[in-house]
Structure 1
Amino acid sequence: MKVDVATKNPALESIFNDPNQVITLDANFLIPPDRQMSSVRGIPFPLFQACWLNPIFELFPNLAIHEAVCSELISRDIKTFINSKVNASPPKIIIHNDSELTEIEQVLRASIEARIYPYTRYDPHIDNRDDRGEVKTLAYIAVKGLIYFAAHDHNAIQLVEKAELLSTGLDAVQAIKMYEILFFLYVRNPSVRKDLRILYKYQYYLTKHEKAINPEWGVFIPTMESLYHSQLQTAGMMCHDQLHQFKPGFSYAAIQMDRSKLTNNYKDPPFAMSVFLGGMIGILIITTYKIPRKSLTYREYGGSMKLQLNKRREP
Structure 2
Amino acid sequence: MREDGTRLSDDDLEAIRREIADSYDEEWELDLDEARLDRLEAGVGDGLDRRTYFRELLRLQHELVRLQDWVKNEGLRIVVLFEGRDSAGKGGAIKRITQRLNPRICRVAALPAPSERERTQWYFQRYVSHLPAAGEIVLFDRSWYNRAGVERVMGFCSEAEVEEFFRSVPEFERMLVRSGIVLVKYWFSITDAEQAMRFRMRIHDPLKQWKLSPMDVESRRRWEDYTRAKEDMLARTHIPEAPWWVVEAVDKKRARLNCISHLLEQIPYGTVEHPPVVLPDRVRHADYLRHPVPPEMFVPARY
TM-score range for the pair, normalised by the shorter chain length: under 0.3
TM-score for both structures, normalised by structure 2:
0.27
Answer 1 or 2: higher relative contact order, Cα 8 Å, separation at least 6. Answer: 2
